[in-house]
């Protein structure tokens, strides 16, 4: 039995989708356990780019089972669009199952996400405006609707009428927005339910049966450690728990069942959305990383903020997630710069600190302590598949990351393709 968790160690977009796609070759099940269509996971297979927002990134593997578990919030229209797009492409795909316990993103969640961001003004969080925060808030407030509820038309209708009067009062009276039509919503969502019905089931039994039968189950993280509601740079975070602990709640798996936790990171750092970023290069270096690494959001198309690799973050992620291995992407990208900086510590008031500050004020006052590395810009490493074949400065950079984080490096990405990976 293997239950392998793949998590982001930074602010998302580390290339989790790529590793899920690669590792799913040897897995039986792939399970998304948190987040929603705020995620954008890119897979490049046979030269074609596939972006998944809700569907697990193991979907391009026939004979596997992909599961959207209870911890995910689902926008049914987005899910149907993704399913139909795959069908049109006539690609052989895995089987898909959706948890009856997963919460549904309703039109008022999307509306409120937009209205709240607008009203926050300068204090906006830079959300993806997909209704994620309001959907998770309603789940906690116990006014959410679950996928299973969509299958009982009378119950669903009753729920919508019960909830919408409160939501519309907030939309109109607090934000001055346009109220949502209950009948239109009910009809739309019952239409979605008809399409999704064949996939909706009690997925927890499926996951447990798989583990009992010693199958290999991959748990696909969305977002990342520093977007985690509890451990990220609050309030500039998402509203779920993307960390490895999120698997226990988001898929109903006991902690002792997890056998491996792989942390995905880039050889630099990127962030989309607002919030502190200690090693950010808001200058020509950041611009160069963005252009070389094609750092534009998969979900919103926003340019990603770019900067040097921050190992204080990765060390913290190693602890919070209990990482057993690291996957480093974009070694090809960072090597194209003239030289490279690596943040190994933070200094606060002139002193090195050994923790990741929870206070944003304190965090913003931290100064990065850098080590400088030679780049390998004269080498195209995108075709290299063995560590020993990498140029010396690239190996030195990787070894230093391993030394500081004290987490063994398992994979190195030298390009976006499924095969552009070095296995250690
Ligand atoms: P995710 O959200 O963590 O799955 O990551 P995204 O798909 O949003 O962003 C990662 C981007 O980097 C995608 O465009 C990938 O195709 C690309 N990518 C992943 N690994 C590598 C790599 O090693 N080198 C290069 N050049 N691109 C990569
Ligand atoms: P993947 O899975 C990068 C960011 C948003 C915003 C914050 C809150 O592709 O790594 P939300 O809409 O979740 O309420 O927005 O979180 N964010 C992501 N950034 N990658 C993601 O997912 C993200 N999902 C959310 O930009 O700053
Ligand atoms: Mg992404």
In this prediction, residues 374-389 reach a mean pLDDT of 97
In this prediction, residues 20-39 reach a mean pLDDT of 97
Cα 331 from Cα 386, distance rounded (Å): 13
Instruction: Identify whether residues 189 and 207 lie together within a single domain.
Output: no
Ion ligand 3 residue ranges (Cβ < 5 Å): 13, 40, 298
Q: Which of 109, 110, 127, 228 to mutate to test the pocket of ligand 2 (most atoms within 8 A of CB)?
A: 127
CATH number of the CATH domain containing 161: 1.10.300.10
Give the pLDDT band of residue 124 (cuts 50, 70, 90): very high
Q: pLDDT for 346-373, tens place per residue?
A: 999 999 998 999 999 999 999 999 999 9
- 8 within ligand 2 shell (Cβ under 6 A): yes
Asked if pLDDT for residue 20 goes beyond 80, the answer is yes
Per-residue H/E/C for 239-278: CCCCCCHHHHHHHCCCHHHCCEEEEEEECCEEECCCCCCC
User: For atom 10 of ligand 2, which residue has the closest CA?
Assistant: 12
Asked if pLDDT for residue 303 goes beyond 80, the answer is yes
Q: Examine the fold and report which residue of 261, 278, 302 is the final residue of a domain before the chain moves on.
A: 261
Q: Examine the fold and report which residue of 211, 242, 261 is the final residue of a domain before the chain moves on.
A: 261
Instruction: Identify whether residues 245 and 300 lie together within a single domain.
Output: no
* Structural domain span for residue 68: 2-99+200-261
Supply the mean pLDDT for the chain: 97
Instruction: Identify whether residues 273 and 395 lie together within a single domain.
Output: yes
Q: Residue 128's pLDDT is what? A: 95
Give the pLDDT band of residue 300 (cuts 50, 70, 90): confident
Instruction: Identify whether residues 300 and 414 lie together within a single domain.
Output: yes
User: Closest-lying ligand to the alpha carbon of 112?
Assistant: 2
Beta carbons of 294 and 304 less than 8 angstroms apart: no
Handedness of CA 133, 134, 137, 138 (dihedral sign): negative
Atom of ligand 2 nearest to the CA of 8: 10
- Which sequence positions are flagged as catalytic? 13, 41
Q: Which of 223, 246, 264 to mutate to test the pocket of ligand 2 (most atoms within 8 A of CB)?
A: 223
Instruction: Identify whether residues 31 and 121 lie together within a single domain.
Output: no
Distance 328 CA to ligand 1 centre (A): 10
Q: Residue 244's pLDDT is what? A: 98
Atom of ligand 1 nearest to the CA of 329: 23
**Beta-carbon count within 10 A of 48 CB:** 10
Q: Residue 47's pLDDT is what? A: 87
Give the pLDDT band of residue 278 (cuts 50, 70, 90): very high
Least confident interval from 40-49, 222-231, 318-327, 369-378: 40-49
Q: Residue 344's pLDDT is what? A: 98
Total number of domains in the chain: 3
Cα 304 from Cα 131, distance rounded (Å): 21
Asked if pLDDT for residue 74 goes beyond 90, the answer is yes
- 148 within ligand 1 shell (Cβ under 6 A): no
User: Closest-lying ligand to the alpha carbon of 265?
Assistant: 1
């Amino acid at each position: 039995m293997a239950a392998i968790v793949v998590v982001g160690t930074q602010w998302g977009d580390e290339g989790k989708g790529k590793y899920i796609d690669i590792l799913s070759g040897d897995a039986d099940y792939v399970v998304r356990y948190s987040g929603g269509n705020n995620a954008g996971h890119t897979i490049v297979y046979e030269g074609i780019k596939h972006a998944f927002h809700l569907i697990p990134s193991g979907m391009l593997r026939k004979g596997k089972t992909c599961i959207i578990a209870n911890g995910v919030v689902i926008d049914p229209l987005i899910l149907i669009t993704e399913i139909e797009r795959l069908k049109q492409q006539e690609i052989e795909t895995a089987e898909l199952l959706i948890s009856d316990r997963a919460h549904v993103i309703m039109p008022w969640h999307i509306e409120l996400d937009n209205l709240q961001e607008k009203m926050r003004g300068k204090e906006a969080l830079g959300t993806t405006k997909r209704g994620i925060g309001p959907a998770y808030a309603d789940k906690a407030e116990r006014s959410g609707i679950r996928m299973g509820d969509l299958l009982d038309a009378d119950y669903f209708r009753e729920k919508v009428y019960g909830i919408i009067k409160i939501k519309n009062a907030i939309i109109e009276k607090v934000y001055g927005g346009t109220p949502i039509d209950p009948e239109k919503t009910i009809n739309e969502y019952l239409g979605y339910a008809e399409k999704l019905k064949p996939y909706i089931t009690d997925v927890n039994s499926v996951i447990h049966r798989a583990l009992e039968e010693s199958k290999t189950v991959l748990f696909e993280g969305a977002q990342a450690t520093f977007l985690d509601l509890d451990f990220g740079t609050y309030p500039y975070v998402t509203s779920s728990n993307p960390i490895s602990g999120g698997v226990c709640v988001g898929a109903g798996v006991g902690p002792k069942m997890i056998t491996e936790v792989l942390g995905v990171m880039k050889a630099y750092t990127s962030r989309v959305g607002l919030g502190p970023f200690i090693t950010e290069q808001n200058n020509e270096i950041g611009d160069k990383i963005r252009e070389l690494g094609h750092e534009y959001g998969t979900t919103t198309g926003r340019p990603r903020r770019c900067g040097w690799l921050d190992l204080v973050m990765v060390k913290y992620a190693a602890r919070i997630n209990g990482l057993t291995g690291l996957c480093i992407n974009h070694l090809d990208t960072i090597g194209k710069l003239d030289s490279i900086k690596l943040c190994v510590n933070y200094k606060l008031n002139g002193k090195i600190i050994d923790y990741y500050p929870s206070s944003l004020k304190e965090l913003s006052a931290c100064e990065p302590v850098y080590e400088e590395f030679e780049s390998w810009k004269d080498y195209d490493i995108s075709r290299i598949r063995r560590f020993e074949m990498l140029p010396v400065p690239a190996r030195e950079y990787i070894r230093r990351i391993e030394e500081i984080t004290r987490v063994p490096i398992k994979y190195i990405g030298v390009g976006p393709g499924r095969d552009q990976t070095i296995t250690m």
